[in-house]
C-alpha cells in the first residue's frame, strides 16, 4: 500500500512523497506526482529512506553510558529510568548552578513545525539558557531584509518565464533540485543561465556561463554590475523613482567600482563583468536565485543585501519572470503559542549556537553543566570542532542526546534517547523553497521503543511538575489550535484539505515584490537608515573581509559546501551512500597542487590554527588557484581525518550573527610532510 508522506529533511524542496509499506516496514519511496512543485521525482538521497528508517544501526531503546566519557560504550535502559535520570539531573543542576547551566541544542533534523518546536516551551519554562538558531540562514535573511524587507521572495516557478537566470551561490542541482525543471523550461524558450560560484559545482557544469568568483567578493561584483548598468543607462527610471530610496547615493558608491577594480577584487576578467552587467541590464525579465553561499562569509549580510538591490535597478520586479529568490513559504501562524517565550524568566541569557565551542569551554556564571541535544549533530555540523569536542568531552558536563543513530555527538552522551523518525510522527510542514504546506501522518509506528520529540518533552514536563496546557497537547491539537489559524499566509487555506494530507497552497503571490516592500520606507532601500542605526554602512559596500586568523601563514581559501549524497551530516549512517560518496576529498587547482608537490589522489592534511583534517587530494580545474573545496560533512568517526569543521571558525557574520562557514584560510601539505617543508 502506498501512503502519502512529506520529506522532512532540511532542504528547500520539502517533497511530497509516496511510501510503500509492507508488513509494517517501509519498502519503497517515490515522489508524489500530485505535488504541484516537486512533481513526482525525488533526489538520490530520499531513495535510501527504507534503509535509513530500518537501519540495523537505528537506536531502538534508551542507552546509558557504561565506559569512560567519549568511549562510546553504552547499554540499554528503560524509558522510565532514563526519564527519571534526565529529570533528576535537570533538578540538581538547576538547584546547584541555576537553570541557565542547562543548554538545549537543536536544529533541523526534523523540519515539522510541531516537533521542531516541541522543546521550546519546555526549556523556556525550565529557565534554561536560550539558543539563538543562527547556524544557517539569518545573515542571508538580514541582508535581504535591509534591502527588500521581510517575507517570502519571488517564487521559483515564476522564473520559467525569465529570459536571463543568474544562480548566485547556490548548488541548485544538489541542494534545490526541484527548481531545475522550471529553469530548464525558461532555457528551452531561450533563456541564458549564469552561475556565479567560486568553484565549478554540478550546477555550474550545466550553465551557459560560469563566473568563477573569489569567495566573499559578491558585493564588489554586484556594485560593478550596477556601475555599468547605470553608466549605460540600462536602469528603469520609472521604477527607481516610484519604488526605491537612495538612488543618488547608490550611484556615487557604484561609481567607486569600475570593472577594473572589481575584476581585481573578484578574480575575474573585466570583460566578464561587462558581459554580465549588459546581459542582466538588457534582459526582458532578469531573475536571480541566490543560495546561502554568499551569506556564509564574514560580510555575508552585506553581500546578500547588495545582490538583492540589482532587480530594483532594472525594474525586474514588475516583469513576469523577473525577480529574486532566497526563501519562500510562510509560517502558518505565530509560533509563540507553541514555543511560549512568555514562560521564560526575563533576564535569561541566550547562547548563539554558532558559538557552542565557546559556550562549553569558556562560558561562566554559570558554566554549562548539562547539554540537551536533539535534531542536531553538533560534533559534526558546528564550527571549530576542536572547541566543541573539547567541551563535549568534559567530565563535569552531563550530555543527553536524542537521536535515531549513533552519531559523533552521541559518542559523548551520558544518556541517549531514541527519537522517532518523520515517517513515524504526525506533523505539519512548511517549505523554504515553495509556497505549499502539507500535513503528514505516521506511515508506520515508531521503530523499536523510539518516541516522537513532543512525547519526550511532555514526559519530562510532567516529571518536573509543569502544569501549563501546552505540555499536554497532542500533535493534532498543536496543529489545529495553533498552526491552522488565521494568519495572512493562511487566508483561504482549507483546514480540511490540509488534514487530508494533500499539499495546500499558502496565500502568497508568486512575486510578492510586485505588491510592495516591507522595509521601513515601504520601498527598496539603496540607502538603509536601519543599517546606519546598527552602526553598519547604510550603502552597499564591496570591500571584502577575509578570515583574519593566522595571517600569511595560511594563504589558501577553504570552503565547505553541501555534498550531493549527504544532507548536512545526515545519511552518513547508510553504508551504501558512504560507499558511493567515498572518502573525504579536497578539490585543489593543479597550480596550487604542483607547487606543493601534491598529485591527484594523494593523502593530504589541511590545517590552520584552529585545527587540521585529512583528505584525499582531487586535483582539478573545477576549482580556482588558491581555493580548496571540501564538499559535505563526513562523520569524522567513519571517515577518519577530522571533519571539515576542524577548520571553520566561530566568528560571526556582519548581520544575523551567523556562521561564516565558507570564510577560512588554510594551508595544505602532503600527509607525510611537515608544515615547514612546504615549497612555494
Ligand X SMILES: Nc1nc2c(c(=O)[nH]1)N[C@H]1C(S)=C(S)[C@@H](COP(=O)(O)OP(=O)(O)OC[C@H]3O[C@@H](n4cnc5c(=O)[nH]c(N)nc54)[C@H](O)[C@@H]3O)O[C@H]1N2
Q: Report in angstroms how near the CB of residue 177 gets to ligand X at its nearest.
A: 8
Q: What is the DSSP string of 151-186?
A: S----GGGGGG-SEEEEES--HHHH-GGGHHHHHHH
Q: Closest by alpha carbon to 565, among 595, 551, 585?
A: 585
Q: Rule CB under 6 A: is residue 199 a binding residue for ligand X?
A: yes
Query: Contact 650/360 with Cβ under 8 angstroms?
Result: no
**With CB under 6 A, what is the number of residues at the site for ligand X?**
58
C-alpha cell at 576: 551504501
- State the alpha helices, DSSP H only, in 237-328: 237-243, 247-255, 259-266, 270-282, 300-307, 310-313
Question: Residue 48: which residues within 8 A CB-CB, separation 6 or more?
Answer: 571, 574, 576, 577
Query: Contact 590/520 with Cβ under 8 angstroms?
Result: no
Residues of span 308-327 touching ligand X by CB under 6 A = none
C-alpha cell at 578: 558512504
Number of residues that this document lists for the chain: 680
Q: Report in angstroms how near the CB of residue 671 gets to ligand X at its nearest.
A: 21
Q: Rule CB under 6 A: is residue 213 a binding residue for ligand X?
A: yes
Please identify which residue in 230, 340, 661, 669 interacts with ligand X, judged by CB under 6 A: 661
Question: Residue 233: which residues within 8 A CB-CB, separation 6 or more?
Answer: none
Q: Report in angstroms how near the CB of residue 94 gets to ligand X at its nearest.
A: 25
Q: Report in angstroms how near the CB of residue 113 gets to ligand X at its nearest.
A: 13
For Mo ion, the closer of residues 99 and 561 by Cβ is: 561
Please identify which residue in 422, 457, 471, 615 interacts with ligand X, judged by CB under 6 A: 422
For Mo ion, the closer of residues 12 and 332 by Cβ is: 12
Q: Rule CB under 6 A: is residue 307 a binding residue for ligand X?
A: no
The 10 Å CB-count burial string (b at 16+, else e) for 41-56 is: bbbebbebbbbbbebe
Residues of span 544-573 touching ligand X by CB under 6 A = 559-564, 566-570
Please identify which residue in 124, 174, 385, 653 interacts with ligand X, judged by CB under 6 A: 174
For Mo ion, the closer of residues 562 and 641 by Cβ is: 562
366 upstream amide cis, omega within 30 of 0: yes
Strands 370-374 and 102-106: parallel
Q: What is the dihedral of CA 143, 146, 147, 148, to 10 degrees?
A: 100
Strands 2-6 and 16-22: antiparallel
The 10 Å CB-count burial string (b at 16+, else e) for 355-366 is: bbbbbbbebeeb
Query: Contact 586/617 with Cβ under 8 angstroms?
Result: yes
Q: Rule CB under 5 A: is residue 570 a binding residue for Mo ion?
A: no
Chosen from Mo ion, ligand X, none, partner binding at 645 (C-beta under 5 to 8 Å by type): ligand X
For ligand X, the closer of residues 162 and 653 by Cβ is: 653
For ligand X, the closer of residues 111 and 619 by Cβ is: 111
As a whole number of angstroms, the distance between CA 312 and CA 305 comes to 12
As a whole number of angstroms, the distance between CA 134 and CA 661 comes to 12
For Mo ion, the closer of residues 374 and 554 by Cβ is: 374
Chosen from ligand X, Mo ion, none, partner binding at 216 (C-beta under 5 to 8 Å by type): ligand X
Query: Contact 213/266 with Cβ under 8 angstroms?
Result: yes
For ligand X, the closer of residues 117 and 564 by Cβ is: 564
As a whole number of angstroms, the distance between CA 679 and CA 547 comes to 23
Window contacting ligand X (CB under 6 A); options: 168-176, 349-357, 467-475, 476-484: 168-176
Q: Report in angstroms how near the CB of residue 476 gets to ligand X at its nearest.
A: 18
Q: Report in angstroms how near the CB of residue 95 gets to ligand X at its nearest.
A: 29
Q: Rule CB under 6 A: is residue 136 a binding residue for ligand X?
A: yes
Query: Contact 442/421 with Cβ under 8 angstroms?
Result: no
Window contacting ligand X (CB under 6 A); options: 311-319, 362-370, 371-379, 546-554: 371-379
For Mo ion, the closer of residues 19 and 629 by Cβ is: 629
Cα distances from 25 to residues 247, 443, 574, in angstroms, run: 60, 9, 17
Q: Which residue is nearest to Mo ion (CB)?
A: 136
As a whole number of angstroms, the distance between CA 308 and CA 162 comes to 17
Q: Report in angstroms how near the CB of residue 91 gets to Mo ion at its nearest.
A: 34
As a whole number of angstroms, the distance between CA 419 and CA 478 comes to 19
Residues of span 247-266 touching ligand X by CB under 6 A = none
Q: Report in angstroms how near the CB of residue 675 gets to ligand X at its nearest.
A: 23
CA torsion sign, 591 to 597 to 603 to 605? negative
Query: Contact 272/212 with Cβ under 8 angstroms?
Result: no
DSSP state of 631: -
Q: Report in angstroms how near the CB of residue 248 gets to ligand X at its nearest.
A: 28
Kindly write out the interface string for residues 377-396 of this chain, putting x where it contacts ligand X by CB under 6 A and - elsewhere. x---x---------------
Q: Rule CB under 6 A: is residue 152 a binding residue for ligand X?
A: no
Place of cell 528547500: 12
Q: Report in angstroms how near the CB of residue 637 gets to ligand X at its nearest.
A: 12
Longest dimension (CA), the chain: 73
Q: Rule CB under 6 A: is residue 215 a binding residue for ligand X?
A: yes
Strands 603-608 and 611-619: antiparallel
For ligand X, the closer of residues 76 and 520 by Cβ is: 76
Q: Rule CB under 6 A: is residue 633 a binding residue for ligand X?
A: yes
Chosen from Mo ion, ligand X, none, partner binding at 110 (C-beta under 5 to 8 Å by type): ligand X
Q: Rule CB under 6 A: is residue 291 a binding residue for ligand X?
A: yes
For ligand X, the closer of residues 94 and 639 by Cβ is: 639
Q: Closest by alpha carbon to 48, among 450, 421, 416, 406?
A: 421
Q: Rule CB under 6 A: is residue 614 a binding residue for ligand X?
A: no
Q: Rule CB under 6 A: is residue 442 a binding residue for ligand X?
A: no
Chosen from ligand X, Mo ion, none, partner binding at 662 (C-beta under 5 to 8 Å by type): ligand X
For ligand X, the closer of residues 195 and 461 by Cβ is: 195
Q: Report in angstroms how near the CB of residue 373 gets to Mo ion at its nearest.
A: 17
Q: Report in angstroms how near the CB of residue 38 gets to ligand X at its nearest.
A: 14
**With CB under 5 A, what is the number of residues at the site for Mo ion?**
1
Residue 341 burial (C-beta neighbours within 10 Å; 0-12, 13-18, 19+): exposed
C-alpha cell at 381: 555540523
Residues of span 108-167 touching Mo ion by CB under 5 A = 136
Q: Rule CB under 6 A: is residue 201 a binding residue for ligand X?
A: yes
Window contacting ligand X (CB under 6 A); options: 151-159, 267-275, 372-380, 384-392: 372-380
Binding site for ligand X (CB under 6 A): 10-11, 107-110, 135-136, 168-171, 174-175, 196-199, 201, 213, 215-216, 218, 291-294, 296-297, 375-377, 381, 402-405, 407, 419, 421-422, 559-564, 566-570, 633, 644-645, 648, 661-662
Amino acid at each position: 500500500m502506498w501512503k502519502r508522506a512529506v520529506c522532512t529533511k532540511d532542504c528547500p524542496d520539502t517533497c511530497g512523497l509516496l511510501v510503500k509499506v509492507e508488513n509494517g516496514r517501509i519498502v519503497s519511496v517515490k515522489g508524489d506526482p500530485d505535488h504541484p512543485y516537486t512533481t513526482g521525482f525525488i533526489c538520490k538521497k530520499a531513495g535510501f529512506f527504507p534503509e535509513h528508517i530500518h537501519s540495523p544501526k537505528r537506536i531502538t531503546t534508551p542507552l546509558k553510558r557504561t565506559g569512560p566519557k567519549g568511549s562510546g560504550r553504552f547499554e540499554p535502559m528503560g524509558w522510565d529510568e532514563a526519564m527519571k535520570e534526565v529529570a533528576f539531573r535537570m533538578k540538581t543542576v538547576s538547584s546547584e548552578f541555576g537553570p541557565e547551566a542547562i543548554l538545549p541544542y537543536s536544529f533541523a533534523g526534523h523540519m515539522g513545525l510541531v516537533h521542531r518546536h516541541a522543546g521550546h516551551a519546555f526549556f523556556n519554562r525550565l529557565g534554561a539558557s536560550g539558543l539563538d538558531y543562527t547556524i544557517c540562514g539569518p545573515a542571508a535573511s538580514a541582508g535581504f531584509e535591509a534591502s527588500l524587507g521581510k517575507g517570502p521572495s519571488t517564487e521559483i516557478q515564476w522564473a520559467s518565464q525569465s529570459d536571463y537566470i543568474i544562480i548566485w551561490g547556490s548548488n541548485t542541482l544538489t541542494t534545490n533540485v526541484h527548481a531545475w525543471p522550471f529553469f530548464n523550461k525558461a532555457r528551452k524558450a531561450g533563456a541564458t543561465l549564469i552561475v556565479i560560484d567560486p568553484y565549478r559545482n554540478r550546477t555550474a557544469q550545466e550553465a551557459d556561463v560560469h563566473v568563477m568568483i573569489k569567495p566573499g567578493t559578491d558585493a564588489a561584483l554586484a556594485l560593478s554590475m550596477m556601475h555599468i548598468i547605470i553608466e549605460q543607462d540600462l536602469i528603469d527610471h520609472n521604477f527607481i523613482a516610484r519604488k526605491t530610496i537612495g538612488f543618488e547615493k547608490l550611484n556615487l558608491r557604484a561609481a567607486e567600482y569600475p570593472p577594473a577594480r572589481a575584476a581585481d577584487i573578484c578574480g575575474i576578467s573585466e570583460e566578464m563583468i561587462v558581459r554580465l552587467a549588459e546581459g542582466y541590464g538588457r534582459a526582458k525579465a532578469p531573475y536571480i536565485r541566490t543560495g546561502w553561499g554568499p551569506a556564509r562569509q564574514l560580510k555575508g549580510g552585506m553581500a546578500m543585501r547588495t545582490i538583492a538591490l540589482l532587480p530594483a535597478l532594472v525594474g525586474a520586479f514588475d516583469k513576469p519572470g523577473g525577480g529574486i529568490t532566497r526563501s519562500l513559504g510562510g509560517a502558518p501562524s505565530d509560533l509563540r503559542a507553541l514555543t511560549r517565550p512568555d514562560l521564560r524568566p526575563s533576564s535569561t541569557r541566550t547562547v548563539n549556537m554558532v558559538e557552542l565551542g565557546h559556550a562549553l569551554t569558556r562560558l561562566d556564571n554559570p558554566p554549562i553543566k548539562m547539554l540537551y541535544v536533539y535534531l542536531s549533530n553538533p560534533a559534526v555540523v558546528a564550527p571549530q570542532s576542536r572547541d566543541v569536542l573539547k567541551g563535549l568531552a568534559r567530565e563535569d558536563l552531563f550530555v543527553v542526546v536524542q537521536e535515531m543513530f549513533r552519531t559523533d555527538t552521541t559518542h559523548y552522551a551520558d544518556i541517549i534517547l531514541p527519537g522517532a523518525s518523520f515517517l513515524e510522527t504526525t506533523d505539519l510542514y512548511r517549505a523554504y523553497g515553495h509556497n505549499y504546506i502539507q500535513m503528514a501522518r505516521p506511515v508506520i509506528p515508531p521503530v523499536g521503543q523510539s518516541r516522537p520529540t513532543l512525547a519526550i518533552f511532555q514526559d519530562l514536563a510532567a516529571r518536573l511538575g509543569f502544569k501549563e496546557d501546552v505540555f499536554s497537547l497532542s500533535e493534532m491539537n498543536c496543529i489545529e489550535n495553533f498552526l491552522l489559524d488565521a494568519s495572512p499566509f493562511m487566508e483561504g487555506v482549507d483546514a480540511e484539505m490540509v488534514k487530508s494530507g494533500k499539499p495546500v497552497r499558502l496565500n502568497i503571490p508568486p512575486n510578492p515584490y510586485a505588491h510592495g516592500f516591507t522595509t521601513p520606507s515601504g520601498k527598496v532601500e539603496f540607502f538603509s537608515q536601519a543599517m546606519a542605526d546598527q552602526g553598519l554602512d547604510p550603502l552597499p559596500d564591496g570591500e571584502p573581509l577575509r578570515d583574519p586568523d593566522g595571517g600569511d601563514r595560511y594563504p589558501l581559501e577553504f570552503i565547505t559546501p553541501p555534498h550531493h549524497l549527504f544532507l548536512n551530516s545526515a545519511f552518513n549512517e547508510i553504508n551504501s551512500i558512504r560507499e558511493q560518496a567515498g572518502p573525504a576529498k579536497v578539490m585543489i587547482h593543479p597550480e596550487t597542487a604542483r607547487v606543493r608537490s601534491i598529485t591527484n589522489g594523494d593523502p593530504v592534511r589541511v590545517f590552520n590554527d584552529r585545527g587540521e583534517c585529512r583528505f584525499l587530494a582531487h586535483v582539478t580545474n573545477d576549482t580556482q588557484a588558491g581555493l580548496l573545496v571540501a564538499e559535505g560533512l563526513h562523520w569524522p568517526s567513519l571517515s577518519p581525518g577530522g571533519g571539515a569543521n576542524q577548520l571553520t571558525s566561530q566568528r560571526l557574520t556582519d548581520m544575523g550573527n551567523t556562521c561564516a562557514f565558507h570564510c577560512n584560510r588554510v594551508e595544505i601539505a602532503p600527509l607525510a610532510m611537515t608544515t615547514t617543508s612546504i615549497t612555494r
